[in-house]
């Protein structure tokens, strides 16, 4: 077949497979070949599951040959962030402490991906334990942005976003605690959606900050992201915070938005996120897309959300606090690495040596900050205060959504920065998620959609919607995509 299968959208691939014009094996092989050709330069993958992928593809082809009704994404390859447990397939969370761990079970999302007939290509690179904004904090080396290999692909899910931009996979899974799906989407010119908290299952997702962690879809088009969202989303009794309600019809909303009519939709620009601090090129691309949204019929107003400026400090107390508790389970006894167990050392010594060797510097920094914020005498001043700020941010969202249907802002204050530019100062790295964090603290959905270029590098626009109104954000994102188009990265 002459078409380059790696350049197609998930919808196109699924269509060809369904009609028998190509096979799932052919599609999978094309993507495995692409990975073999470019991933030594991109390093999007930590593990490529060649045998597993081809076996899954053969199974889809056999089911189709037997006349079975296949789902809308059957035969489509997907790359999975290494934060989700995959049965028998290495799962490291980008950390040495889990090196060699092969989970005995699948995360709910992975199970749903398999049931839908998608083909898992492998596990993608990430900042260790999803803590970071550049994928440079992976214990296995940085991922490179396909737009410019000297630059970061965002983080923590830089591997998933880079795999899409390098045409190594048409679909990917990420997880978003403070921006880790949307920020990599923005800086790689791809689409990344953070669902409503509780709208996608956390079962089998290695926990970072349990009140914020939200797995979600990454793709090159809004419709592909919505289709993937529909496959992985919905109630899961194995996750206690999963919402026991049907998922909004995100696919119908994306199709409706693609029609390019936003008449009757009121959008609020977050005024705190369009001023000082954002790069001029980012603001210019954002302003142009706002004009495009207005041309599609949307009414645009400015909305002030004064507490959003405190989201970053609140997040950097709440997330480390939760992480300091969650990461206590990595003790050298239950999973992965164990150091110093020579028969003469006490359990405490082995735990301490394992954690010293297994965790990287950023993870240790978070554990220390979190332990301090939760310690007696400081709890009210730090953790308690941050929780109060979280409530104020939620109130800002509630008030805004009484006036507008959705909020918009740039996804990130700056485009992809050079590798190494922000690693020496943690605060500079934290700033990458300035605009995405409020949504996590509130719990609503947010999506990043490409909105233009600044000096040849992608810029993303973020749409934020009320909780359980994920369909609304897909409609607006698809409408914008219909006006500005998708971005094509330079050929690798």
Residues with a catalytic annotation lie at: 81, 156, 180
Of 125 and 156, which has the nearer Cβ to ligand GLN? 156
Give the separation between CA 408 and CA 121, rounded to whole angstroms.
Answer: 34
Distance CA 84, CA 172 (A): 12
Residues that bind ligand GLN (CB under 6 A): 130-133, 156, 176-180, 208, 319, 433
- Crossing angle for the helix pair 24-42 and 10-19, to the nearest 10 degrees: 150
CB of 441 to ligand GLN, least distance (A): 12
Nearer to ligand GLN, 28 or 324 (CB): 324
Token look-up 């260790």 returns 128
Would you call the peptide bond into 156 cis, given omega within 30 degrees of 0 as the criterion? yes
Are 444 and 467 contacting, i.e. CB atoms less than 8 angstroms apart? yes
Structure tokens at 243: 């919402």
Q: How far is the CB of 374 from ligand GLN (least distance, A)?
A: 17
Closest contact distance (angstroms) between CB of 133 and ligand GLN is 4
CB closer to ligand GLN out of 143 and 180: 180
Cα–Cα nearest to 167, from 349, 36, 302, 355? 36
Task: Please list the alpha-helical segments (H only) found in 296-409.
Answer: 311-326, 347-358, 361-374, 385-403
The neighbour count for residue 408, using CB atoms within 10 Å, is 28
**Cα 154 to the center of its chain, rounded Å:** 10
- Distance in angstroms (rounded) separating the CA atoms of residues 457 and 199: 32
| Between 88 and 361, CB nearer to ligand GLN | 361
Residue 124 backbone phi and psi in degrees, to 5? -100, 155
CB of 218 to ligand GLN, least distance (A): 13
Q: How far is the CB of 367 from ligand GLN (least distance, A)?
A: 13
Nearer to ligand GLN, 28 or 209 (CB): 209
Give 35 or 463: the residue with its C-beta nearer to ligand GLN: 463
First to last CA, the chain: 22
Residue reference for tokens 């410019």: 148
What are the tokens at 149?
A: 């290999």
CB of 245 to ligand GLN, least distance (A): 24
């Amino acid at each position: 077949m002459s078409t380059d299968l790696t350049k197609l959208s998930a919808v196109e691939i699924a269509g060809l497979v369904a009609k028998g014009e190509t096979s799932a094996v052919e599609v999978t092989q094309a993507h495995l070949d692409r990975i073999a050709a470019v991933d030594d330069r991109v390093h999007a993958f930590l593990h490529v599951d060649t045998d597993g992928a081809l076996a899954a593809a053969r199974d889809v082809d056999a089911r189709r040959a037997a006349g079975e009704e296949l789902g809308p994404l059957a035969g489509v390859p997907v790359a999975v962030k290494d934060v989700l447990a995959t049965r028998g397939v290495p799962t490291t969370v980008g950390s040495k402490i889990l090196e060699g761990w092969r989970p005995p079970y699948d995360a709910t999302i992975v199970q749903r991906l398999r049931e839908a007939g998608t083909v898992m290509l492998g596990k993608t690179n990430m900042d260790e334990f999803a803590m970071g904004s550049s994928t440079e904090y992976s214990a296995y080396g940085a991922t490179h942005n396909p737009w410019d290999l000297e630059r970061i692909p965002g983080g923590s899910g830089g591997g998933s976003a880079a795999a899409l931009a390098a045409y190594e996979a048409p679909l990917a899974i990420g997880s978003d605690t403070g921006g880790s799906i949307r920020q990599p989407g923005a800086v790689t010119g791809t689409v990344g959606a953070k669902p409503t908290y509780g709208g996608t299952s956390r079962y089998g997702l290695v926990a970072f900050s349990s009140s914020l962690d939200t797995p979600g879809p990454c793709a090159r088009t809004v419709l592909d992201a919505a289709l993937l969202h529909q496959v992985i989303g919905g109630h899961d009794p194995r996750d206690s915070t999963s919402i026991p309600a049907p998922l909004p019809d995100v696919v119908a909303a994306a199709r409706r938005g693609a029609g390019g009519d936003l008449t009757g939709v009121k959008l609020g620009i977050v005024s705190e996120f369009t001023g000082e601090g954002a790069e001029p090129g980012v603001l210019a691309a954002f302003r142009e897309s706002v004009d495009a949204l207005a041309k599609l019929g949307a009414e645009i107003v400015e909305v002030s959300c004064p507490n959003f400026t405190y989201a970053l400090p609140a997040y950097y107390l709440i997330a480390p606090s939760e992480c300091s508790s969650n990461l206590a389970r990595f003790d050298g006894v239950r999973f992965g690495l164990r150091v110093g167990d020579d028969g003469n050392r006490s359990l405490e010594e082995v735990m301490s040596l394992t954690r010293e060797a297994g965790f990287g510097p950023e993870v240790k920094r978070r554990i220390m900050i979190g332990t301090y914020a939760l310690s007696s005498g400081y709890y009210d001043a730090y953790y308690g205060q941050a929780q109060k700020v979280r409530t104020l941010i939620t109130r800002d969202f509630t008030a805004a959504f009484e006036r507008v249907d959705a909020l918009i802002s740039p996804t990130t204050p700056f485009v992809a920065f050079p590798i190494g530019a922000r690693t020496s100062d943690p605060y500079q790295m934290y700033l990458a998620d300035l605009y995405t964090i409020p949504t996590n603290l509130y719990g609503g959905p947010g999506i990043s959609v490409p909105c233009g270029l600044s000096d040849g590098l992608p810029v993303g626009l973020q749409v934020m919607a009320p909780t359980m109104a994920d369909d609304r954000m897909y409609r607006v994102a698809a409408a914008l995509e219909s006006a500005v188009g998708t971005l094509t990265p330079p050929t690798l």
